[in-house]
Amino acid sequence: MSLTDALVERRIAAAVAQGAFDALPGAGMPLALEDEPLEPKELRLANHIMRNAGIIPPAVESLRERDGLRRQLQNASPETRNRLLRRILALDMALEAERGQVMRIPEEYSERIAQRLSGEEGGPSRPRHAAGTTGTQIDGAAQENGASCG
């Protein structure tokens, strides 16, 4: 046990002895940690504390925003729809990057990127894909090794 841990334990023991925790709401009651059964056990207490404090992780805020934007797509005009789709794509890419996953760019965006990079603005351009993929994959390893992203 480190010096800091020992100091913290002594202070908690002293507070318990003085009755500092006796009048707290829910004193003597077990914590209801099963609100989210899919949460990993090691994160339940931390997430419970954050929820009680009204703290929402940025990833959860992004997921909520993305879901709201998807609902708006149903009744959106074409211009608004394009703006919403761009924002949804940006949120998806940010979430995937945060998770450290390979980012997949949808086929239509991959084609537009290939057209812009080749200087063509007219006809469709077909990017090269690895066998069995539906979009362009971008990951750090491919970029570091100088591999093509399209």
pLDDT per residue as tens digits for the range 24-80: 888 778 876 566 777 778 877 887 788 888 888 778 888 899 999 999 988 999 889
- Could you give phi then psi for residue 38, rounded to 5 degrees? -90, -5
Domain assignment present for 70: yes
Distances (CA, A) of 64 to 30, 49, 67, 107, 130: 30, 20, 5, 25, 33
pLDDT of residue 101: 62
- Domain assignment present for residue 129? The answer is no
Which position has the token pair 């990993």?
40
Range of the domain at 72: 58-118
Whole-number average pLDDT of the chain: 75
Q: How far apart are CA 148 and CA 118, in angstroms?
A: 14
Query: Which of 105, 89, 91 is closest to 139 using CA atoms?
Result: 105
Q: Does residue 52 lie within any of the structural domains?
A: no
What's this model's pTM, rounded to 2 decimal places?
0.41
Would 74 be classed as within a structural domain? yes
Rounded mean pLDDT, 118-143: 49
Residue 88 placed within a domain: yes
Number of compact structural domains in the chain: 1
Residue 147 lies in a domain: no
Q: Tell me, yes or no, whether 16 lies in a domain.
A: no
Q: What percentage of the chain exceeds 90 in pLDDT?
A: 20
Domain annotation covers residue 32: no
Say how far apart CA 27 and CA 107 lie, in whole Å. Answer: 56
